[in-house]
Chain A
Amino acid sequence: MLNLLKDNIYSIVLNLLFLLFLFSILFPLEKTISKLLKIHILKTHILSVLLLVVLLVIAKISALGFIVSFVLITFSFLVFLFGFLSNRKYIYMLALVSLSLTPIMLILKVDKLAEFFAQTCYLLLVLGVLKDVFYEKIFK
C-alpha cells in the first residue's frame, strides 16, 4: 500500500491540486484565504496560482518534455482558436485549396506533401464544421 502511494506520488499531488481547483470554483475559498492573509484575494487569483502549481509539478516530472510541449500546445491552441474565430469562408476556401493541391502533389510524386495537404484539408473541414455547430453555443 505504502509502495503504491510512493509510486504514484505525483498523481496524488496533481489530483489534490485539481480537487482544490474544483473546490475553489464551487465554494468561496477566496474569502477564507482573504481573511487569513488579511489581503483582498479574488477567485481568479487562487485559480491562476493553482494552475501555475499544476504546471510546475508537470514540469518537475517531464522536464525537457514540458518545456517543448508547453510552447507547442499553447501555440497550437491559439492557432486553432484563431481559426475558430475567423470567417468560415476563409476556412472552407483554404480547405478547397488544400484539396486541389493534394492530387497535384500526387501527380508530381511528392507523396509527403500530398499527405500534408490531405491532412490540412481534413482538419480545415473539421474546423469549419465545428465552427458551424458550436461557435454560437460557446461564444457570444
Chain B
Amino acid sequence: MFSMKKYLNKDIFKIQIILFLVSFGIFSVSLNVFAQTKLDYYKKLFAEDFEFIISEESQDTSLGVGSTPSDLNDGYLVLLSSSISKEKTLENYFVKNKKIILVCDKPYSTTNPIKFSCDKSNVFSSELENTAGFLRKTWLQGTDLYVIPENILVSPDERSNIEEYFNAFRRSDAVPSISEDKNTVFIKVLKKIDQVKVLLKTSTFETFGIAFSMFLIVSISFGFLKFLSGKNKKKLNSSVFKVTLIKIKDYFALHHWVVVYGLIILTTMYIPIIVTLGVKDGRGVSLGYFITYSLDTFKLTNLITYIDQGNYFRVVIFFYNFIYLITLITLFVPSLITTLLIAFPRIENAKLKTETHKYAVPLLVALSLIASSFFEISDSYRFLIFTSVVLAFIILNNLKYKTFSYKYTYREKMFIIIISFLIILSGFLMKAREKEIGLNYKEEDLIGVNDKVVTLPYSKQLGDNVIFNDYLVSMSDPVFADRYLVYSPNYPSVENKNALEFKNLGPFYIQNGVLSDMVSAIYANEELSKALTLKTPSNFFKVIGFENKSGKDNAKIQITFTCEIADIGLYEIVSNYYYVNADGEVKDSDKLLLYFPGCSKVGEPETFTVEFKPPYIESDSFFMRLQGLLGKDIKDIKILALENKIIEPIYYSKGRGYSVIASGGLTSSASTKITNYIFPNSDTLSKDFYNLSFDVEFDSEGKFNISKPINELVKQGVLKDTFLIWSTIKYVPIRLDE
C-alpha cells in the first residue's frame, strides 16, 4: 500500500512537471515582444502587414566576410537612412541573395554602390527605377535594393498602393526556379516528382486524405466517442478526470512509455524552435506563423529547393517535423490495429440485399461504359478503378452469402443490353465528332489573380485542354512564355528558331539553355560561338590548347576574384567540364577546383592559384563552368600550363533559368522581324520544339493580344503543366490598374 502511494506521488510529480512545461510553452507562445522603436515599427510593418521574412542585421561591423549572416539568404533587411553611419555605409549591408529596404526618414545621398538621394518625401536617381514613388534596383551586387520615402509609408492610401506592388514582386519572386544546369537524371527525377504532385492534387488523393484522417481520428477518439455517446454516463467530476488520467498514464506506462516521453521531449523542444523562428523572421513569437511555416516546409518537393538554396533552418524543421510525425504515428499504431480488427469483420459480415446485387451491378457496368466511351481513359481511369473495386466487393459478397442467383427477366435483359449498346454507340459518335471539329478547349483568364498590380515573371498553371481568353497588353519590353518569344513591341513580326540555325542577321535574342546543349551548338555553329563570346569574364569559358596528358601534373589555374561584396555565398568552387568525345557526343564531369576562404577586404581583388587537373579530355579544347560564381565575382582567370605557357580562356555568356544570354541588332523602330534562338534539348525538348512565327498586330488602341501566341504554343503541346511568362527586366507590370 505504501509503495503504491509512493509510486502515485512520483507520477503526480511528473505530471506536475509536464503541466508546468505546457503552461510555460503556452505563456511563451502568447508573448509578443516588440519594443516600439521606429526601426522595430517598420520591421513589424514589413513582417506582419507585407508578410516579408525580415532578417536581423549583424552586430559585427568589420568589413570582412561574415559581416552579415549569409544563411538568411531569403530575407529582407530593413534599414533607416538615419541609422546609416560613416563607419557602416550602405554598401556594408549588401549580401548576395538578400533584399534591402531602405526607409528614408532623413535626407540621405550616396554614390556607392549606386547614385541616389532621398528624403522623407522624395527619391531621386537616374540609375534606379522609380515605381509609384519609390526607387528599386534588382540584382545590384547580387542584392535587390528598395528606397522608400517615409511619407509613403505613413500615408494610408500610398501604403496600400506600395503593398500592392510588393505583393506583385513577391509573387514574381516565388515563381518556380528553372534550372537547366542539372543533369538529365535530375530533370527526370523532378519530372517524376511533378507527376506525383499532379497525383496528389487529384480528388482521389484528397478523398483518400480525408478518409485516412477520419480513420485516424476514429482510431484515436474511439474511447472518447464511446464515452460521449454512452447511455450510463458518469458525471463529469474531478474523480472521473483523475481516473481517466491514471488510466491514460497506466496505458502509456504499460505499452508506450518510451514513445510518450520521446513525444513530450520533442513537443517541449518546439518552444525554443518557435521562439527562434519568430525572432529570426521578425514575426515575434507566433504559433500561427510557425504552423504556416511548418506546413510550407513540410513539402517534399520544397526540400530540394531548400537544400539547393542552403536554407538549412528549413531543412532542420522539415526533419524535426518528420521525426515528430513518425513518433506520433508510432504512438497510435495499437489503436489503428484495434480499429482494423473491428472494421474488417464488420465489412466482411455485411450482407447485401438481393435487390442491391440485381440493380447495382448493371448500373455500375453502365457507368463504367460511360466513363470509357465518353472520356479519355487517362482522365477516367480513377473512376473505372472505383467501379471495379465496388463490383469486386459486390461479387465477393455474393460469393459468400449467395443472396442473388443472377436471374433477370427477358425484358430486363433486353433493356440492359440496349442501354449498354446505346452508350457505346453515342460515345463513339461523340469521339468521331470531336476528332472532326478538334478538341473542345475550355477558356480561362491568362492572369488568374485579382490583384491590381501583377508583375513579370508570372507562373501560370495550365489545366487540361485549357486555352486563354484574350489578354491585351501594351508593354515596352519583350515577353516570353518559357523559352518562346511571344511579344516584342518594336517589330512587326516575331519568329522562334533553333539555335543551330543561328545567323547574325537582323535583330535577335539567344535564349539560355542546358549547358551540354549549348556546348554542342557552340561547337557546331561558329557564328553562334562568336555571338555568345564575351570580353568580360564569366563563369562559363572555353579552354583551348591545354595539353591534358603532359601538362596535367604541373599546370595551375589562377583565379582573381573582384571582391566587390563581402560575402559571395560560396566556400568551395566546383568546376563542370564539358567536351566533345570522338563520337561527337558532349560529355561532362565535375571536380572541386578550390576552397574559397573569402576576401581580405571589400573592393580589393584577391588572387588564388591552385593546381589544375581537369579530367582526361579527348578533344583539344573544352568548356568549364564555375558553379555558383557570377561574372561580377571574377576579375580574371589564367591557366599556367607547362613551359610558362599562359592560356587565357574565352568567356561565353550563360544565364540562369529562363533568360536571354545574347542579343543583337535591336533597334527601336525596325521594319524587319526579330528572331529568338532556342537551344533544342537533346534529351527532352527536341520533340517539343516548335517553330513559332507570327505577326505582332496591334488593335486600334495600340494593344496586342498576348494570349494568341500563347494559345498557339498550348495547342502545339509546347507549354505544359506550369509555364513562366517573363521579360528581360524583372518586375515589368503585365497588369496595372490604378
A73 touches B351 (CB 8 A): no
Ranked 6 nearest A-B pairs via Cβ: A72-B208, A76-B211, A109-B288, A79-B211, A140-B351, A14-B372
Over the window 398-414 of chain B, the binary record of Cβ atoms lying under 8 Å from chain A Cβ atoms (1 yes, 0 no) is 11000100101000010
Tell me, yes or no, whether A34 is within 8 Å of chain B by CB: no
Q: Using CB atoms, name the residue of chain B closest to A92.
A: B229
Q: How far is the CA of A69 from the CA of B196 in the complex (A)?
A: 11
Q: How far is the CA of A86 from the CA of B221 in the complex (A)?
A: 14
B420 touches A25 (CB 8 A): no
Tell me, yes or no, whether A108 is within 8 Å of chain B by CB: yes
B381 touches A78 (CB 8 A): no
- A residues near B, CB below 8 A? 3-4, 7-8, 10-11, 14-15, 18-19, 21-22, 25-27, 43-44, 47-48, 51, 54-55, 58, 61-62, 64-66, 68-70, 72-83, 85-87, 89-90, 93-94, 97, 108-110, 112, 116, 119-120, 123-124, 137-140
- A residues less than 8 Å from B420 (CB atoms): 18-19, 22
Give residues of chain B (254-269) contacting chain A, Cβ–Cβ below 8 Å. none
Q: How far is the CA of A32 from the CA of B23 in the complex (A)?
A: 76
A47 touches B395 (CB 8 A): yes
A140 touches B403 (CB 8 A): yes
A94 touches B218 (CB 8 A): yes
A138 touches B225 (CB 8 A): no
- A residues less than 8 Å from B378 (CB atoms): 61-62
Tell me whether A139 and B288 are in contact in the complex, defined as CB-CB below 8 angstroms, given that A82-B347, A120-B214 are known contacts: no
Tell me whether A4 and B353 are in contact in the complex, defined as CB-CB below 8 angstroms, given that A48-B395, A69-B385, A90-B218 are known contacts: no
Tell me, yes or no, whether B307 is within 8 Å of chain A by CB: no
B211 touches A22 (CB 8 A): no
B452: shortest Cβ distance to chain A, in Å? Answer: 24
Give residues of chain B (278-330) contacting chain A, Cβ–Cβ below 8 Å. 287-288, 291, 295
Tell me, yes or no, whether B535 is within 8 Å of chain A by CB: no
A44 touches B204 (CB 8 A): no
- A residues less than 8 Å from B427 (CB atoms): 11, 15
Tell me, yes or no, whether B195 is within 8 Å of chain A by CB: yes
Q: Using CB atoms, name the residue of chain A closest to B419.
A: A22
Residue in contact with B225 in the complex, picked from A14, A22, A94, A123, CB distance below 8 Å: A94
A54 touches B384 (CB 8 A): yes
Tell me whether A80 and B211 are in contact in the complex, defined as CB-CB below 8 angstroms, given that A72-B204, A72-B205 are known contacts: yes
B369 touches A15 (CB 8 A): yes
Q: How far is the CA of A93 from the CA of B377 in the complex (A)?
A: 40
A55 touches B388 (CB 8 A): yes
Tell me, yes or no, whether B646 is within 8 Å of chain A by CB: no
- Flag the segment in B175-183, B360-368, B453-461, B593-601 that touches A: B360-368
Q: How far is the CA of A101 from the CA of B143 in the complex (A)?
A: 45
Q: How far is the CA of A79 from the CA of B150 in the complex (A)?
A: 59
B386 touches A73 (CB 8 A): yes
Tell me whether A139 and B352 are in contact in the complex, defined as CB-CB below 8 angstroms, given that A7-B435, A25-B361, A94-B225 are known contacts: yes
Q: How far is the CA of A76 from the CA of B351 in the complex (A)?
A: 20
Q: How far is the CA of A87 from the CA of B225 in the complex (A)?
A: 11
- B residues less than 8 Å from A25 (CB atoms): 361-362, 365, 406, 408
Tell me, yes or no, whether B228 is within 8 Å of chain A by CB: yes
Q: How far is the CA of A124 from the CA of B386 in the complex (A)?
A: 20
Residue in contact with A77 in the complex, picked from B226, B368, B389, B432, CB distance below 8 Å: B389
A89 touches B212 (CB 8 A): no
Give residues of chain B (209-230) contacting chain A, Cβ–Cβ below 8 Å. 210-215, 217-218, 221, 225-226, 228-229
- B residues less than 8 Å from A86 (CB atoms): 346
* CB-defined A-B contacts under 8 Å, sample of 17: A4-B432, A7-B435, A10-B377, A26-B408, A44-B395, A47-B395, A48-B392, A58-B388, A61-B377, A61-B378, A66-B385, A69-B382, A75-B208, A82-B347, A87-B229, A97-B225, A120-B217
B318: shortest Cβ distance to chain A, in Å? Answer: 17
Give residues of chain B (438-475) contacting chain A, Cβ–Cβ below 8 Å. none
- B residues less than 8 Å from A68 (CB atoms): 196, 199, 205
A85 touches B346 (CB 8 A): yes
B365: shortest Cβ distance to chain A, in Å? Answer: 5
- B residues less than 8 Å from A89 (CB atoms): 229
- B residues less than 8 Å from A26 (CB atoms): 406, 408, 413, 416-417
A82 touches B343 (CB 8 A): yes
Q: How far is the CA of A89 from the CA of B208 in the complex (A)?
A: 23
Q: Using CB atoms, name the residue of chain B closest to A22.
A: B365
Tell me whether A22 and B347 are in contact in the complex, defined as CB-CB below 8 angstroms, given that A14-B377, A44-B395, A94-B217 are known contacts: no
Tell me whether A15 and B373 are in contact in the complex, defined as CB-CB below 8 angstroms, given that A21-B365, A54-B388, A76-B211 are known contacts: yes
A94: shortest Cβ distance to chain B, in Å? Answer: 6
